[in-house]
């Protein structure tokens, strides 16, 4: 896909990896609509990239806000051709801690944002994407979709679910709308707020976004970002080794 002149929606587009995605898409000549809860960061990006980007404040863990985003895009951005489901949260949970009795709202929020919102935005915006000459849907997953880590069971479940949904959507599009390209970006560890204070060998959000944008331009089904590229081969030879490393 040539991104010049395309209209792209980036969830979580004003912070972390999403911010770099917004910058790079705008740099390639795309118009970008960013979604996020924080109005200030959305406005900062609008100032930085004036004219090329707009923001829609929304909490995507809330189904009314997801519906509002779908309605607004349909009303104001009828040329939408790129959807990037990037926004997510990762919550550490140990179900044997005393605090686990209070986990239910956090579990629901994480499921709603990381998985339900991505599925509902994809299906809700599909009629619009289908009308374009070419379109791309990108779902941002993680190496943890292949095998989970102990400390964030719900996050890992949402990423495994998103990976599965992405594949099934790719099958459906291949059959019914082959001009819609469905891509999964399997992320490595990236230096953002999500990973602050933990992990080593992190790559920059700029590099992560660059690999995703290149994947969109080349029409790739899957982009395994940075070190995550080792996972498919390792997993083919030893799923248990991959499970052990990621645990």
Ligand X SMILES: NC(=O)c1ccc[n+]([C@@H]2O[C@H](COP(=O)([O-])OP(=O)(O)OC[C@H]3O[C@@H](n4cnc5c(N)ncnc54)[C@H](OP(=O)(O)O)[C@@H]3O)[C@@H](O)[C@H]2O)c1
Residues that bind ligand X (CB under 6 A): 11-12, 14-18, 35-38, 41, 58-61, 86-89, 113, 140, 142, 187, 189-190, 192-195
Q: Shortest distance, CB of residue 127 to ligand X, whole angstroms?
A: 23
User: Closer to ligand X at the Cβ: 15 or 77?
Assistant: 15
Q: What would the two tokens of residue 125 be?
A: 């915006």
Q: Shortest distance, CB of residue 227 to ligand X, whole angstroms?
A: 11
User: Closer to ligand X at the Cβ: 59 or 74?
Assistant: 59
Q: What would the two tokens of residue 142 be?
A: 């993680």
Q: Shortest distance, CB of residue 51 to ligand X, whole angstroms?
A: 21
User: Closer to ligand X at the Cβ: 37 or 220?
Assistant: 37
Q: Assign 221 to helix, strand or coil.
A: coil
Q: Shortest distance, CB of residue 25 to ligand X, whole angstroms?
A: 14
Q: Shortest distance, CB of residue 218 to ligand X, whole angstroms?
A: 20
Q: Shortest distance, CB of residue 228 to ligand X, whole angstroms?
A: 8
User: Closer to ligand X at the Cβ: 37 or 134?
Assistant: 37
Task: In whole angstroms, give the CA distance from residue 142 to residue 88.
Answer: 11
Residue with tokens 């993680």: 142
Q: Which residue is nearest to ligand X (CB)?
A: 16
188 CB neighbour count, 10 Å cutoff: 21
Q: What region, left, alpha or beta, does residue 197 occupy, with left being phi > 0 and alpha being psi -120 to 50 degrees? A: left
Q: Assign 159 to helix, strand or coil.
A: helix
User: Closer to ligand X at the Cβ: 38 or 238?
Assistant: 38
Residue with tokens 């395994």: 224
> Under 8 Å CB-to-CB from 246, ≥6 apart: which residues?
143, 144, 146, 147, 148, 149
Task: In whole angstroms, give the CA distance from residue 147 to residue 75.
Answer: 40
């Amino acid at each position: 896909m040539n991104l010049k002149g395309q209209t792209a929606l980036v969830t979580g587009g004003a912070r972390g990896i999403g911010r770099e995605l917004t910058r790079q898409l705008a740099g390639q000549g795309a118009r970008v609509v960013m979604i996020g809860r924080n109005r200030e960061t959305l406005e900062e990006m609008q100032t930085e990239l004036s004219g090329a980007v707009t923001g829609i404040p929304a909490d995507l863990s809330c189904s009314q806000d997801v519906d509002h985003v779908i309605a607004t895009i349909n009303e104001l951005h009828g040329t939408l051709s790129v959807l990037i489901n990037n926004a997510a949260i990762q919550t550490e949970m140990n179900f044997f801690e005393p605090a686990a009795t209070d986990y239910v709202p956090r579990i629901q929020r994480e499921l709603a944002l990381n998985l339900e919102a991505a599925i509902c935005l994809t299906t809700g915006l599909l009629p619009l994407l289908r009308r374009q000459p070419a379109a791309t849907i990108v779902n941002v997953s993680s190496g943890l979709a292949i095998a989970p880590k102990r400390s964030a069971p719900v996050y890992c479940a949402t990423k495994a679910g998103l990976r599965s949904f992405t594949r099934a959507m790719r099958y459906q599009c291949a059959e019914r709308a082959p001009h819609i390209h469905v891509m999964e970006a399997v992320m490595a560890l990236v230096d953002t707020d999500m990973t602050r204070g933990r992990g080593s060998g992190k790559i920059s959000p700029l590099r992560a976004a660059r690999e995703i944008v290149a994947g969109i331009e080349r029409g790739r089904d899957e982009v395994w970002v940075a070190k995550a590229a080792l996972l498919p081969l390792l997993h083919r030879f030893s799923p248990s080794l991959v499970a052990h490393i990621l645990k």
